[in-house]
Amino acid sequence: MWAEYFTVAALISIGLYGVMSKKNLMKIFIALSLMETGVNLMLITVGYVPGGTAPIENGNFAKYVDPLPQALVLTAIVIGVSVTALALTMLIWYHSKTGTLEYRRGMKW
Amino acid sequence: MRKVAAAVIAALFFAMLMSTLYQLPSADYTEGGYNYRNPINGSYADENVPSHYIADTKDETGATNVVTAIVVEYRGFDTLGEVTVLFTAATGVAFLLRKMKVRSGKKKTEANLILREGSKLVLPFILLAGAYIFIHGHLTPGGGFPGGSVIASGFLLMMLAYPKFFMKERAVSVTESLAGITFASIGLLGLVFATSFLQNFLPFGHVGYLVSAGIIPLIYIAVGFKVGSELSSIIDVMKEVQK
C-alpha cells in the first residue's frame, strides 16, 4: 500500500504545485488532471485487496477486489474527460479573444 | 517567490497526505465477504454493500462482471446522469466552437502515404474492437464508456491521416439522440413491466453467455454508441478551429 499512497500523495501535491505556481492555463489544466488521477488512484487503492483479481465471476473462488470504488472511479473518469474537454474549449475561446494562454488578473475577455 | 511559496505549500500538503493516507482502512476479502481493517485501533468492520454485490450479482442481475452490474443495474440512474454530463459537455464544446470559425488560410498538409493507407486498413478493426468491448461489457472487462472511446479514437486516427475527413454532423447527432432515447426508454419500460425505473424486466438467460443479463447489454450498447458519437463530435469540432 505504501507505494500506492506515496504515488497518490505525489500526484496530488504536484498537481497542487502546478495549479498554484503556473500562469499558463494549459499547464493549470494538466495539473488539475494530475490531481484528479491521484484522487482516482486513492479510491482504487482503498478497495484493493492484496492478491485480488478483477471482480469478474467465473465460477471458481478467487479473491476479488472491491468492485464499488471501481464503479465510482469509472464515473469520475468520464466526468473528468467532460470537464477537461469543456475547459480546453474555453481555453481556445480565451486564446482567440486575448491572444495568450496566460492568466492575468483583471483581464477583460 | 511565487514558485517558492507554491513549492512550500505543496511540500506541506504532501507531508500531510503521507501522514494521513496510511490511516485509511484497508480491505480484505474472505469467503464470507469484505472486511475493512481500521489501522488505528486494529478493529474490523464488515462491509455489507460490496459483499452483497460479490455474493448476489449473478442471481440478481445475471451479469458476471460485477463492476458492470453496479454501473448499469444497481446504480443505473447514476450512469444516466453521467451520460447526461458528457452530453452537456459535448453540447457546450459545440456551442462555443461552432460560433468561432477561426479557420485560417494556412494550408493543411497531407499525411504521408503509410499513415493514410495504414489508417484505412486499421479503421475497421478499431471499430470492431470498440464494438466488441461494449457488447461484451457484462462478461469481460470494459463496457460502453471504454468501447465508445475506442470508436472515437478510430475516427481521430482518420482525422489525423486525412485533414479533410469530417464527421457527418447529422448522422452523429441522430446516432447520439437515438442512443440516448434508447437508454431512457429502456428505463421507462422497466417502470411498466417491473416496479421501478431502469429495473431489469428481461429474462437473464444463461449466465455467462453473450445473450444474458437482461437489459445490461442493451443499455451498454446504447451507452457505447452515445459515448462514441459524443467524443467523435467533440474531436471533430475541436479539429475545425485549428490555426
Q: What is the pLDDT of residues B52-85, one digit of tens each?
A: 888 788 778 888 888 888 888 888 888 889 999 9
Overall domain count for chain A: 1
What average pLDDT does chain B have? 84
Q: Is A100 on the interface with B (CB under 8 A)?
A: no
Q: For residue range B191-241, list pLDDT tens digits in order.
A: 888 888 888 888 887 877 888 878 888 889 999 999 999 998 888 888 777
Supply the CATH number for residue A16's domain: 1.10.287.3510
Overall domain count for chain B: 2
A7 interaction partners in chain B (CB closer than 8 Å): none
Q: Which residue has the cell 473528468?
A: A80
Has the ipTM of the complex gone over 0.95? no
CB nearest to B96's CB, from A9, A70, A93: A93
**A21 located within any domain:** yes
The pLDDT of residue B207 is 79
Least confident of B63-72, B105-114, B159-168, B189-198: B105-114
A5 interaction partners in chain B (CB closer than 8 Å): 17-18, 21-22, 24
Task: Compare A30 and B163 and report the one with higher pLDDT.
Answer: A30
- The residue ranges of DSSP E strands in chain A, in sequence order, are none
pLDDT at A108 over 60: no
CB nearest to B54's CB, from A14, A17, A67: A67
pLDDT at B104 over 60: no
Q: For residue range A83-98, list pLDDT tens digits in order.
A: 999 999 888 888 887 8
Candidates A19, A10, A12, A41; CA nearest to A87 is A19
Whether residue B224 sits in one domain with residue B110: yes
Domain around A10: 2-51+64-98
**B56 located within any domain:** no
**A38 located within any domain:** yes
**A80 located within any domain:** yes
* Nearest-angstrom CA–CA distance, B80 and B229: 16
Q: What is the phi/psi pair of residue B30, to 5°?
A: -125, 180
Domain around B78: 62-240
Q: In terms of DSSP H, where are the helices of chain B?
A: 2-21, 48-61, 66-68, 76-98, 113-135, 144-161, 169-193, 215-240
**A56 located within any domain:** no
Alpha-carbon gap: B53 to the closest alpha carbon of chain A (Å): 8
Q: Is A86 on the interface with B (CB under 8 A)?
A: yes
Neighbour tally for A105: CB within 10 Å: 4
Whether residue B86 sits in one domain with residue B29: no
B92 interaction partners in chain A (CB closer than 8 Å): 86, 89
pLDDT at A55 over 90: no
**A43 located within any domain:** yes
* Nearest-angstrom CA–CA distance, B163 and B239: 9
CB nearest to A20's CB, from B6, B31, B96: B6
Give me the mean pLDDT over the B175-184 stretch: 89
Whether residue B83 sits in one domain with residue B194: yes
pLDDT at A74 over 80: yes
Amino acid identity of residue B180, one-letter, is G
Concatenating the DSSP letter of every residue in B54-91 gives HHHHHHHH--SBHHHIIIIIITHHHHHHHHHHHHHHHH
Q: Confirm if B190 and B200 have CB atoms less than 8 A apart.
A: yes
**B222 located within any domain:** yes
Whether residue B131 sits in one domain with residue B171: yes
